[in-house]
Amino acid sequence: MRHLGMAALAGAATLTGSVSVAAADASPAATIAQGRLAGASEAGIERFLDIPFAAPPVGGLRWRAPQAPPRWAGLRDASKLGAACPQTVRPALVAGGVAEHQSEDCLQLNIWRPTGARKLPVMVWIHGGAHVIGSGTFPAFDGTAFARQGVVLVTINYRLGALGYFAHPALSAAKPRGEALANYGLMDQLAALRWVQKNIAAFGGDSRQVTLFGESAGAIGVTTILAQPEAKGLFARAIVQSGVGLLDPRPLAEQEALGSALAVRAGAPPAASLDALRALPAAALVAAGEVKTPGAMVGPILDGELVREAPWRVFARSEPIDVPLLVGANSNEASVILGMGVPPAAALAYLGADQAAGRAAYGTGLADDELVRQVLGDAWFVAPARWLAARTAGGAPSYLYHFDYVAAARRDRAKGAAHGSEIPYVFGTLDYLASVAGTVGEDDRRFGEGISACWVAFAKTGVPGCTLIRSWPRYDSANDRLATFALQSSVVAGFRKAQLDHLLRIHFGSGQPRP
């Protein structure tokens, strides 16, 4: 389905003896199978950073499934953030993050816990960034506020762009037995979840109470994992923020052709060997990925082994991993779609052949630019979120939300809540938001505490009750109720029903997306 659901937005790891005995005595410690860790502590919150969950994917391990993580002797310094995976440095975008410190040796995760943590719920965050930018080290993803509310927070890195989602005939020809191809970033996400299952008890976390959550490309990771039967048992709950992932991934053969062209742009010969590909500098591959091929998008690939079909098809059959689900989108998602270069005229195509009926669903008084903004946001994010909540409602409960809160200092000029703008509220990192977007007021901070508590309640109990939404009903298509987060948060029935029904009827027909 390449229309309504194309939300594919967007030092060696074996460090030893690097912490002095005196520093170790003053530092929180943890022992895992790989070795001993010395973290850092401040105001009752302990953090363990730059922990490798897989071997460095360099040299012969570039474009391989993640391998067993390294071990070390003595104490490993886990007090400082590590490198992000290779990518183009973007401006300070909240959704994915800035990543000025980079290395191909980047498969690490970060953990925050309250002092004395014992059998606490765990939340594992997959960052967004269109599968090409971002990192788990971004300041907006700091886990301190979550830890203060009694959960263990984990952020992860995963391979991006041409290093994370890449196919090439030479790779297919040399495929190791038992390993999948192409979806290396997705494999990293799964490897991190397996690491958490094995090791999180050492940090006071309960491996039976893991909530997997992500935004944008990270949310596509969540929905793709939900469609993987092999991932059952790796998490108990899931949150999908602005990126349902109702898309048809490209088949392997098509991606091989795109990968061959990218490799040539990076400096490889037309029929490059695997050794020649692995000799390419990471920076050259990142730069080559910046050249836009018409119709090409980075993200999960139909390799036939790990990703065997489009995830939406699994949901359409009501066969995903059955766990409580929290899903929603923001009121100005068009901010990212238009920023990606999608022409405004494309919005008209989403209204269907009967343009008059489509415009009527949105109200005839809308100016064209406002119609475009609403249609693009609904088609790419809001309508698919409702569809996903409906398709999963028959099993474990699903909860649907719409985020429409804008900081007081921006309300006079913002058209709504931009893509990714919920993140600093959910994470309690509004100081970072203030540093890049201006003043944040006390009302904004109180709202942030409220919505963060909803996410934490869901992680603890599977029900997102909190002071902002005291009685959040599970989603049911018959009642069609969701929680709106706004200046006055509330539960609303039939939210944007005419608009969403029109889009879903055209693009989803009888309830299943059309390819």
What are the residue numbers of the active site?
Answer: 216, 333, 419
Helix (H, G, I), strand (E, B), or coil: what is residue 361?
A: helix
> Cβ(107)–Cβ(67) under 8 Å?
no
- The kind and range of the H/E element at 153 are strand 152-156
Backbone angles phi, psi at 412, to 5 degrees: -75, -10
Buried b (16+ CB within 10 A) or exposed e, 47-63: bbbbbbbbbbbeeebbb
- % helix, strand, coil for the chain, step of 5: 35, 15, 50
**Residue 219, CA distances (Å) to 244, 387, 420, 503 in order:** 6, 15, 11, 21
What whole-number distance in Å separates Cα of residue 105 and Cα of residue 113?
25
Cβ atoms of 472 and 483 within 8 Å: the answer is: yes
Q: State the Cα–Cα distance between residues 418 and 410, nearest whole angstrom.
A: 11
Look at residues 207, 183, 210 and name the one whose alpha carbon lies nearest to residue 197. 207
Determine the Cα–Cα distance for residues 229 and 226; give it in Å rounded to an integer: 8
Phi, psi angle pair for 429, to nearest 5°: -115, 45
C-alpha to C-alpha distance for 173 and 276, rounded to whole angstroms: 14
Closest C-alpha among 124, 122, 38, 51 to residue 81: 51
Classify each residue of 438-472 as buried b or exposed e, where b means 16 or more C-beta atoms within 10 Å of its C-beta.
eebeeebeebbbbbbbbbbbbbbebbbebebbeeb
- Residue 326: its H or E element: strand 325-330
Instruction: Kindly report the three-state secondary structure assignment for every residue of 22-67.
Output: HHHHHCCEEEECCEEEECEEECCEEEEEEEECCCCCCHHHCCCCCC
